[in-house]
Amino acid sequence: MPWRLLSTDADFEREFVALLGAKREQSADVDAAVRAIVARVRAEGDEAVIALTQQFDRLELTPATMRVTEAEIDAAYEETEPATLDALRLAHERIAAHHRRQMPKDDRYTDAAGVELGSRWTAVESVGLYVPGGMASYPSSVLMNAVPAKVAGVARIAMVVPAMRGALNPLVLAAAKIAGVSEIYRIGGAQAVAALAYGTETIAPVAKIVGPGNAFVAAAKRQVFGHVGIDMIAGPSEILVIADGENDPDWIAADLLSQAEHDTAAQSILITDDSGFADAVAAAVERQLKTLSRAETAAASWAEHGAIIVVPQLDDAAPLSDRIAPEHLELAVEDPEALFSRLRNAGAVFLGRHTPEVIGDYVGGSNHVLPTARSARFSSGLSVLDFVKRTSILKLGPDQLRELGPAAIELARVEGLDAHGRSVAIRLNL
């Protein structure tokens, strides 16, 4: 049974805090194992990657066969059904169009004192893209990670994807081809992350690594962070639907299940001002669950982490939503814009009754890599900004140095930094 909370109950606050704090993920302690793998790949390069791939993926590789060939990629693309290719191309086009608007602009100006200031943005030179194997090997995620990098101007995107016993998902290769991924290697796990971070004889190192993965991949990303950049560590999916009683309960039930089916640790929450509607959605979820191919996963997620919260009026949903800070937020209400203007913390918002969250997973154009586990309080979804960096610019002439210099010298003095002061004073003959 999912959680059921009534915001007017005396112990609502306690229950809500318990819901917020409930641990959904078992964090396996793989740090030591991953540390050993990273050290080995760093020391032995290709040889270590090949041995570990044999051990974990049951696949024999050589330095020459590590990389997926152009012919293999083309073959995967050719064998993809036209309807699927069309859908991938539509998604690609829409994601690219949206992300092009995110490109930050350089800024260069001269202020009243005559000082030239500015910010210049440049692309990260090379990016590694991790794609999981097995059930979570999604072509849509390839697009969502690779397209912002391409739009940013990243010259080299090196993708890694584990091939258990040699098997690769052809759709992942097709998506990589559509997205313009430069290189693909059939390796995975912590060894692939280490190879991307430190390089091997076959794989040149990258400057940043993005993409989802299991506990080993997440631990490896944390460990190489600093030497290379990483994106966020993604947790299990979440959706919060705020809905009034005017919705079709079956629509909302389907939306809740669309996240629940991802993972037993996923979380789907409904907030509504209509207790009867809440009951109807709960019943619809039970009905729809039965027909899902991932029924077991979805049922476990819904029973353990699902929640229905009834509030006296929809306005009461806003502060609760901000505390949940959901990855995905659907506003299936009469005036979604008004409600949205009162909200602050959400990775992505889906406005109105005709915008199921799933559109954002695939073809809306916005990114589906979004902050989970309440991190929308302080972070954002993946964007072009994750693949560029900024250099700040200062340029003074002798006049400007004469004007600003004394204040710098004074602050260096009180901070006890003699050479700081001198580097200014010496230019002013002070």
Please state the residue numbers annotated as binding site for NAD(+).
Answer: 130, 191, 214
330 among known catalytic residues: no
Distance of CA 302 to the CA centre of its chain: 23
Which one of 14, 338, 397, 430 is in contact with a second copy (CB under 8 A)? 397
Strand partners, 121: 390
* 32 near a second copy, rule: CB under 8 A: no
Which residue in 183, 261, 327, 357 is the catalytic one? 327
Q: Which of residues 290-319 bind a second copy (CB under 8 A)?
A: 291-294, 298
Q: Which is nearer to a second copy, 52 or 173 (CB)?
A: 173
Round to whole Å and give the CA distance between 229 and 388.
11
- Note whether 355 binds a second copy by CB under 8 A: yes
For a second copy, the binding residues in 225-244 under the rule CB under 8 A are 226, 228-229, 233
**Which residue in 84, 167, 204, 245 binds a second copy (CB under 8 A)?**
84
Phi then psi dihedrals of residue 35, to 5 deg: -60, -40
Exactly one of 1, 32, 71, 83 binds a second copy (CB under 8 A); which one?
83
Among 261, 328, 330, 368, which one carries the catalytic annotation?
Answer: 328
> Hey, what are 72's tokens?
């293999």
Contact 372, 237 (CB under 8 A): yes
Q: Which stretch binds a second copy (CB under 8 A): 33-41, 183-191, 289-297, 305-313?
A: 289-297
191 forms part of the interface with a second copy (CB under 8 A): no
Torsion from C-alpha of 187, 135, 172, 199, nearest 10 degrees: -20
393 — phi, psi (to 5°)?
-125, 135
Contact, 386 vs 121, CB < 8 A? no
Q: What angle do CA 119, 150, 231 make, to 5 degrees?
A: 75
Helix axes 215-224, 189-198, angle to 10 degrees: 20
The residue among 51 and 96 lying less far from a second copy, judged by its C-beta, is 96
CB 126 within 8 A of CB 206: yes
Q: Kindly state the DSSP code that residue 153 receives in the 8-state scheme.
A: T
Q: Clarify whether 328 is annotated catalytic.
A: yes
Residues 317-336 that bind a second copy (CB under 8 A): 336
Cβ at position 332, least distance to a second copy in Å: 11
Q: Which two tokens stand for residue 415?
A: 């901070």
Q: Which is nearer to a second copy, 43 or 359 (CB)?
A: 359
Site for a second copy in 42-61 (CB under 8 A): none
249 forms part of the interface with a second copy (CB under 8 A): no
Q: How far is the CB of 127 from a second copy (least distance, A)?
A: 9
Q: How many C-beta neighbours within 10 Å does residue 341 have? A: 10
Q: Which residues are catalytic?
A: 327-328
